[in-house]
Structure 1
Amino acid sequence: MTAQPLLEVQNLRIDLAIGNARFPAVQDVSFTIEKGETLGLVGESGCGKSITALALIGLLRPPLSLAGGTIRFNGKDIQNLSSAEMRKLRGNRISMIFQEPMTALNPLSPVGRQIAEMFVLHKGATWKEAERHAIEALASVRVPAPDRRVKDYPHQLSGGMRQRVMIAIALACGPDLLLADEPTTALDVTVQAEILDLIRELSAAKGTAVLMISHDLGLIANMCRRVGVMYAGRIVEHRAAEDIFRTPSHPYTKGLVASLPLLGARAQHGQKRLQEIEGVVPPVADFPVGCRFNPRCYAATDVCHVDDPAVTELRHGGYVRCHHHD
């Protein structure tokens, strides 16, 4: 552990504009990532995970906007950087693997050129040098016949190959921080394992810190040392991964963990169906008063419908937002 985190996020707020009204899509989100660490961010779709990552690299677009908080990277505040300053940082020191490579990659440009652009823009390489680096980058992510694949367009590649190209682009300049937003979505299980092994190996080799965003708890348990559980725009529990899965504190975290399929275990106890959390994540414009999880919570009482729970530090590290976490 270092004295100064690589990334420090304090009280992040992201607003959603609907007409003349503004609603907090993300509110009071705080976390740190150490150099070389992998932090997991989990939760259902619509909880604010992806827009949190986009805010970190200045890619929020209307109707979303950064409305408050501090984003400190390597000791420097970056939330108010100009577009030109953020472009120097984005793709160079901080990179992102986007959720869907087919929409993130340019369909009109060969994948080799899209990788080569990173070396031209951030490393001052010539296009000839950059093309050679692009072949090396594809080889590093185990793309077969990289000297031929650099000429292919995204539609000519499989989903797994496109994801490898995205990783090659993200890691081309040796970033200090990698934001991985659902990096294995819609991939076969065997391909998922290969992609995760690849991220792990490349991160370990270069000391890159990773923010791993996913709704797949198995993936998070396998990749991360610490985990933040996000619900309705807030982190409701933040602890060591081992503690999250062994002794979850927040009712939402308990529901997520209980919904995991465990081979053989449920059948032995006569349980034929997976547990589920009733209801859905509320829309941003209709967050409930009090605890935002109260409409779906089995432990909710009167206080949960009135008072917003404060952050409670846990005895063995981490914190939780819940009136009844004990």
Structure 2
Amino acid sequence: MSQKPLLEVENLRIDLSIGDTKFPAVQDVSFTIGRGETLGLVGESGCGKSITALALIGLLRHPLSIGGGIIRFDGREIQSLSPAQMRQLRGDRISMIFQEPMTALNPLSPVGRQIAEMFVLHKGASWRDAERQAVEALASVRVPAPERRVKDYPHQLSGGMRQRVMIAIALACSPDLLLADEPTTALDVTVQAEILDLIRDLCAERGTAVLMISHDLGLIANMCRRVGVMYAGRIVEERAAEDVFRAPSHPYTSGLVASLPLLGARARQGRHRLMEIAGVVPPVAAFPAGCRFHPRCRASTEICVAADPEVTLLPNGGSVRCHHHE
């Protein structure tokens, strides 16, 4: 990997407008992704993972908007690009696998034409050549009989096949960065494994960097070298994946890891009780003062209620946002 990051996000803020008031749905989010690297972003539903990805690719819509910060892609700031400039970048150098392919794919267009459109718009190919490349793209994601499948509509495909089509569209132009938002949602475990292996192999072959978004810690542990843990619109811990799962620093990360089932003798003997984190992620308009996790944290003290914790750099690499991380 190049020492210069491919993607740099600095103090990103995403505002949610409710009437005349703006609330920070995402605040002070910073991370980097190197070329060919896979970064995982985990957290409960509603913590801001998906809208962070949408901000990176320029797809935020009212009532959401970028309220501040810098998104730098390959040395170029892109947070203020015009819609036309973002369209040139999106799909070509930055692509996204959306959470639900049935809503992301056009139900009125054959999947082959939807793939071919990428080659026409971004590579200047003729429709005849693009349709041939669409067949090759389906073959690359291991869709059987791709010459026939290019004529199918999304509703004619299984969930796993639709997800493969989404991957084919996202990787059609060999992007430098792939944003994968819950790429295995609603798929059975066998198909999940196939999809993850497919993403890993294709991205390794093409040198594509990946931002993998999920609430599935097993998936993240299997796919990612580094992990960012997100809570209530902030990254509360960001470290090497091995360190996050072996010795988490933030109480929220500890709670997530403790909620994982164990294998082995203790599990078979029924001695392992899964831990749960009390409460729910607070709504954007009601984030608590101080540390946003303190109402649910078993280690909370007065300082957690009174003061917002700063980001602390850890000696062995990474960072954490907690008063009591030691």
Normalised-by-shorter TM-score class: over 0.9
* Code of the aligned partner of 1:255: G
2-structure distance, mates of 1:313, 1:96: 30
Q: CA deviation at 1:272?
A: 4.8
- Indicate the residue corresponding to 1:241 in structure 2: 241
Mark the runs of 5 or more structure 2 residues left unpaired by the alignment. Answer: none
Q: Partner residue of 1:202?
A: 202
1:76 to partner: Cα distance: 0.5
Structural mapping, 1:51-130, within 5 Å:
51-130=51-130
Aligned equivalent of 1:292: 292
Q: CA deviation at 1:268?
A: 6.1
Q: Which amino acid is the alignment partner of residue 42 of structure 1?
A: V
1:264 Cα shift? Answer: 2.8
What's 2:182 paired with? 182
| CA deviation after TM superposition for structure 1 residue 18, in Å | 0.7
Counterpart Cα distance in 1 of 2:61 and 2:209? 25
Q: Which amino acid aligns with 1:167?
A: I
CA deviations 1:189-209 (Å, max 9, x no partner) are 010000000000001100000
**TM-score relative to the length of structure 1:** 0.99
Map of 2:25 onto structure 1: 25
Opposite residue 13 of structure 1, the aligned amino acid is R
TM alignment of 1:153-164, pairs within 5 A: 153-164=153-164
Partner of 1:133: 133
Q: Which residue pairs with 2:280 in the alignment? A: 280
Q: What are structure 1's unaligned runs of at least 5 residues?
A: none
Corresponding residue of 2:310: 310
Instruction: Indicate the SS of the match to 2:129.
Output: helix
Amino acid at match of 1:138: L
Secondary structure of the residue aligned to 2:261 is coil
When normalised by structure 2's length, the TM-score is 0.99
In the alignment, residue 229 of structure 1 is paired with which amino acid?
V
Amino acid at match of 1:236: V
Q: Output the CA distance in 1 between the equivalents of 2:317 and 2:4.
A: 18
Q: Look up the match of 1:39.
A: 39
In the aligned structure 2, how far is the partner of 1:166 from the partner of 1:315? Answer: 40
Cα offsets for 1:235-257 (capped at 9, x unmatched): 00000000000000000000000
Residue 266 of structure 1 and its aligned partner are, at CA, apart by 4.0
- CA distance in 2 between counterparts of 1:271 and 1:60 reads 46
Give yes or no for contact 2:37–2:209 (8 Å, CA) kept in 1. yes
For residues 210-225 of structure 1, the aligned pairs below 5 Å read: 210-225=210-225
User: Offset at 1:262?
Assistant: 1.5
Q: Where in structure 2 are the equivalents of 1:245-256 lying within 5 Å?
A: 245-256=245-256
Distance 1:194 1:270, change over 3 A: closer
Q: Which residue of 2 aligns with 1:324?
A: 324
Task: Say which SS state the counterpart of residue 65 (structure 1) adopts.
Answer: strand
Residues in 1 aligned to 2:84 and 2:116: alpha-carbon distance in whole angstroms? 20
Secondary structure class of the residue paired with 1:107: coil
CA distance in 1, matches of 2:97, 2:176: 14
Separation in structure 2 between the aligned mates of residue 130 and residue 160 of structure 1, nearest angstrom: 24
Aligned AA (1:108): L
